[in-house]
Amino acid sequence: MRRCCAAMLRGARWCGGLCSSLGLAGAGGSTLLRRPRALSAAFSSNGGGARSGGAPSAGASDVKPLDGVKILDLTRVLAGPFATMNLGDLGAEVIKVERPGAGDDTRAWGPPFAGTESVYFLSVNRNKKSIAINMKDSKGAKLIRELAAVSDVFVENYVPGKLAEIGLGYEDIQKIAPHIVYCSITGYGQTGPMVQRGGYDSIAAAVAGLMHITGHEDGEPVRAGVAMTDLATGLYTYGAIMAGLLQRYKTGKGLHIDCNLLSSQVACLTHVAANYLNCKIEGKRWGTAHGSIVPYQAFKTKDGYIVVGAGNDQQFVTVCKILNLPEVSKDSRYKTNTLRVENRKELIDILSTRFSEKATIEWLQLFEGSGVPYGPINNMQQVFSDPQVGSHQVFSVLHNGLVMKMDHPTAGRIAVPGFLMFSGTGDLIPILQNILEDSCLGGTAWDISWLHCNQNHKKLE
């Protein structure tokens, strides 16, 4: 059996194959591990007893793709928490390490709040268990290393070099956990003149060019409505960690993954970047339109907007038929997409005039079944009233089932957006449970409810 902070484990309880409480008091009474307010609720849809990195038992009916994978999550704000939340949705067991007293920065981001809980924080932190550790204290750093030794994945988003200063860099963790998939998320990467800058979405979006190409054609640069650079980085991180686990399965060795906001956003510039790299065509703002496809944009109706995209010539003919503009489809200026791009202004003026003559619902009915991509511009109320979006409890799914409803110990019944990627893999809907109940503390012990010591589920001593 692995010995893990043995002096601190006296009196710890063992339930369901888990070491479910750790008493951690530092010298002079300083607290190394404590709850950041009442907000440190456990976000978990995972049962106890999963083996460290092992496969669930054969024939299990509720097997999730990442059952048995343990993730030590030192990330804050959005990109990292979004990645680890999605991994948790697939069954990974995630322990979120936070600052004593304050926790993740987003716990204070509001209003709005659900009770005392930041809705922003709740939106990206399901499927996690939360502990607060003072990593600057040597005993706190030691505890992180002990947790890493029994984890499969270590995720952090500190400025490069900061964790190495306290013995928690990749080289440090690799020595005690050569199997570890260690993922660093930064603003600008591990080397270079910007390496010591902190990374926030809007700044990275500006530096990487996204803000330059976002907004009205003749207007100012605009920030996207949600933090797309952070979210894209989270998705790249999510995929890289999955690939890292597969690589470790093949080689038996861990590795270091480097994800950063700048690289993620530049990669997502796709054709805009390729236009510049190959043709020296500078990117520009197009509003809702597309630089290389016409028509592909929003049109104002009598009472709102509809977005229509004609990705090929046949679709353009269909659009003209629906709008009762057969002469436009026959006009030599608009016969091909290249010609439509060249004569954009004249064509869009004609189409805009016609779209303004009917209400949005009328146009939606006319486009239904046409084969042309189309849709309204919805507000949030309309989005979550759409039967294609739907909500779900367990697997009672209405179409896409994008709303997860769950119980939180202090906020009560809440709903957050989610994405079910698998069916038949068990319950992916997380229920928020408080694992730090006083009845579990045994008087003075704090509960981290997470440490597995080996594949036989033996108690840490």
Residue 345 corresponds to which tokens in the numbers above? Answer: 């202004």
What SS3 state is found at 374? strand
Contact 135, 168 (CB under 8 A): yes
What SS3 state is found at 407? strand
Do the bridges between strand 374-376 and strand 392-393 make them parallel or antiparallel, or are there none, so unpaired?
A: unpaired
Alpha helices by DSSP H, 252-359: 261-267, 270-279, 313-322, 326-330, 337-342, 344-355
> What is the CB neighbour count within 10 angstroms for residue 52?
19
**What distance in Å separates the CA atoms of residue 278 and residue 116, rounded to the nearest whole number?**
52
Residue 149 corresponds to which tokens in the numbers above? Answer: 């030794």
Residue 163 corresponds to which tokens in the numbers above? Answer: 């964790």
Contact 16, 47 (CB under 8 A): yes
Mind telling me the catalytic residues?
230
User: CA angle 92-97-102, nearest 5°?
Assistant: 140
What CA–CA distances, in Å, run from 291 to 168, 208, 268?
46, 19, 16
**What distance in Å separates the CA atoms of residue 395 and residue 387, rounded to the nearest whole number?**
16
> Which among 404, 403, 398 has a CA at the least distance from the CA of 431?
404
Helices and strands counted in the chain (H then E): 15, 19
The dihedral formed by the CA atoms of 159, 165, 171 and 176, expressed in degrees to the nearest 10: -120
